[in-house]
Amino acid sequence: MKLVAGNWKMFKGPTETLAFFDAFEAPDGVEVVLCPPFVSLEAAVGEEWPIYAQNVHWAAEGAFTGEVAAAMLVEIGVQGTLVGHSERRQHFGETDDTVARRAEAALEAGLGVIACVGETEAEREAGETEGVLRRQVAVIPRHEQLVIAYEPVWAIGTGKTATPQMAQQAHALIKSLHPTRVLYGGSVKPENAAELMAQPDIDGALVGGASLDPASFSAICRAAV
Ligand code: PEP
């Protein structure tokens, strides 16, 4: 069964979160996860879908202003978390080391993890894609509750999508390094979702912009079946 996860980034407070769930429908035969911002998690966990946070800290508690601990997420019914999203790597100083620490703490607390990897445009143009993926994947813990998302940074929020063949090639490499499910992310839309998810090593999708609208996210979920 494919897994389709929606990353809402910094969109939708609790009121808009509830409005989304009023309109959202998904067919049987697809696993669906939604990742609202921290303040909307509690509203979302009352709904029927597994809810993941977008980030988590590695410490159990402490002087880490603005961060949230794994046990706090578990306490309110959150089932998992993203780690290492490229926007965290680009804008908030996330490194391979902190990605690994966040993933380990989340898994230890019983959360599922979607760990994001992917090369930048400059890295792809310099022929460094394989090296970057090898380096990023090497630190990701092996665990049955962990899924990897391959998100080429140049395809996130840009409207540029990796061709199904490019994505397949990267997924095959990642799977040869880490035995887990691998989702594709980067401008996935209702129009391209079925072709991407038809590739043998693409086990689902991590969807940003197109997950904000219940109709388009529903269409992507249907394309996964
Ligand atoms: C994402 O935020 O993980 C993502 C893939 O965004 P988008 O679908 O908007 O490119």
Question: Using one digit for the tens of pLDDT, what is the confidence trace for 149-160?
Answer: 999 999 998 988
Q: What are the two backbone dihedrals, phi and then psi, of residue 135, each rounded to the nearest 5 degrees?
A: -65, -45
pLDDT at residue 59 greater than cutoff 90: yes
For 97, 125, 144, 162, 218, the CA distances from 117, given in Å and listed in that order, are 13, 17, 18, 14, 25
Instruction: Give the pLDDT band of residue 102 (cuts 50, 70, 90).
Output: very high
Among protein residues, the one with the nearest Cα to ligand 1's atom 3 is 208
The conformation of residue 184, written as its DSSP 8-state character, comes to E
What pLDDT, on the 0 to 100 scale, is given for residue 49?
97
pLDDT per residue over 61-92, tens digit each? Answer: 999 999 999 999 999 999 999 999 999 999 99
151 is catalytic: yes
Q: Check if the beta carbon of residue 220 is closer than 8 Å to that of residue 4.
A: yes
Q: What is the mean pLDDT of the chain?
A: 97
Options 87, 119, 123, 151, the catalytic residue: 151
Which is the closest atom of ligand 1 to the Cα of 85? 3
Among protein residues, the one with the nearest Cα to ligand 1's atom 1 is 208
What pLDDT, on the 0 to 100 scale, is given for residue 90?
95
pLDDT per residue over 166-190, tens digit each? Answer: 999 999 999 999 999 999 999 999 9
From ligand 1's centre to the CA of 87, what distance in Å?
Answer: 10
Torsion sign, CA atoms 167, 172, 174, 175? positive
Q: What does the pLDDT average to over 92-113?
A: 98
Q: What percent of the chain has pLDDT over 90?
A: 97
Q: Check if the beta carbon of residue 83 is closer than 8 Å to that of residue 99.
A: yes
pLDDT per residue over 126-147, tens digit each? Answer: 999 999 999 999 999 999 999 9
Instruction: Give the pLDDT band of residue 55 (cuts 50, 70, 90).
Output: very high
What pLDDT, on the 0 to 100 scale, is given for residue 161?
87
Cβ of 207 less than 6 Å from ligand 1: yes
pLDDT per residue over 25-49, tens digit each? Answer: 999 999 999 999 999 999 999 999 9
